[in-house]
């Protein structure tokens, strides 16, 4: 049977973690997601997706170029805001539950993930932020989202877990290959498989599942 070009293209996209691919990949995610650029003063948002617009009520023009703190409001917890700033300063993935506000002023409980993405030479390149609106009962470490994430992560092989943990730390395939003493092709193969196991269409969604699972 001949190879299916469409399947080959999908496989290539799953394996691609170039800058352009990362920025483009969030567009089809059902999770509200933004990408910010820490190389620009005040770490502004440079890309967003429709899910984020739908969640917050803002237009793309009102979002791009701004720091994500515009979602904060009168009752946003200052200690959580400081925890977010500390995670950004230390360039590590962080998942918090914070009170944010939509454009119309409606408050919502936000499960906010912020994760670094490093360049091929190891320098910080982007931050990915994803947001999930929580119900009143859907808070804390024993939520259904946590339980579902643990179940999915438990389907990983030990090697795939290693790669997923490095992805959650912001490393690209080339860096992971060096760290684990594997070929980049092998890392990309495992990366493609684990994305399918997690039903994640991109790195941002996979990182969120990893952090929600407690990796």
Specify the pLDDT at position 173: 87
Specify the pLDDT at position 2: 43
| In contact, 19 and 196? CB cutoff 8 Å | no
**Mean pLDDT within 130-146:** 71
Top-confidence residue, 57 or 144: 57
- 2 CB-contact burial (10 Å; exposed 0-12 / middle 13-18 / buried 19+): exposed
Instruction: Domains for the chain: give ranges and CATH numbers.
Output: 5-212 (3.30.450.20)
List the 94-101 sheet strands across, edge first: 45-48, 32-36, 124-134, 107-118, 94-101
Q: Has residue 100 got a pLDDT over 80? A: yes
Specify the pLDDT at position 1: 41
pLDDT band at 53 (very low <50, low <70, confident <90, very high): very high
pLDDT band at 5 (very low <50, low <70, confident <90, very high): very low
Percentage of residues of the chain with pLDDT beyond 70 = 88
**Mean pLDDT within 49-66:** 95
How far from 14 is each of 46, 108, 205, CA to CA, in Å? Answer: 22, 32, 12
pLDDT band at 17 (very low <50, low <70, confident <90, very high): low
**Mean pLDDT within 95-101:** 92
**Mean pLDDT within 172-182:** 90
Q: Has residue 36 got a pLDDT over 90? A: yes
For 92, left (φ over 0), alpha (ψ -120 to 50), or beta?
Answer: beta
Q: Has residue 9 got a pLDDT over 60? A: no
**Mean pLDDT within 157-168:** 92
pLDDT for 59-96, tens place per residue? 999 999 999 999 999 999 999 999 999 989 999 888 99
pTM of the model: 0.79
């Amino acid at each position: 049977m001949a190879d299916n070009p469409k399947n080959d293209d999908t496989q290539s996209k799953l394996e691609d973690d170039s800058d352009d691919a990362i920025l483009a990949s969030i567009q089809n995610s059902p999770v509200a997601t933004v990408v910010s650029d820490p190389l620009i003063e005040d770490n502004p948002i440079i890309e967003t997706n429709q899910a984020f617009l739908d969640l917050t009520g803002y237009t793309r023009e009102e979002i791009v170029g701004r720091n994500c703190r515009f979602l904060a409001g009168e009752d946003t917890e200052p200690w959580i805001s400081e925890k977010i700033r500390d995670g950004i300063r230390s360039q590590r993935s962080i998942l918090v539950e914070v009170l944010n506000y939509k454009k119309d002023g409606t408050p919502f409980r936000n499960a906010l993930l912020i994760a670094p993405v490093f360049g091929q030479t190891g320098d910080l390149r982007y931050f990915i932020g994803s947001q999930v609106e929580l119900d009143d009962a859907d808070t804390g470490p024993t939520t259904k989202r946590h339980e579902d994430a643990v179940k999915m992560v438990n389907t990983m092989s030990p090697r795939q877990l290693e790669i997923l943990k490095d992805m959650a730390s912001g490393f690209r395939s080339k860096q992971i290959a060096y760290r684990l003493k594997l070929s980049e092709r092998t890392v990309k193969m495992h990366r493609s498989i684990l994305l399918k196991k997690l039903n994640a269409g991109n790195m941002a969604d996979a990182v969120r599942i990893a952090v929600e699972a407690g990796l």
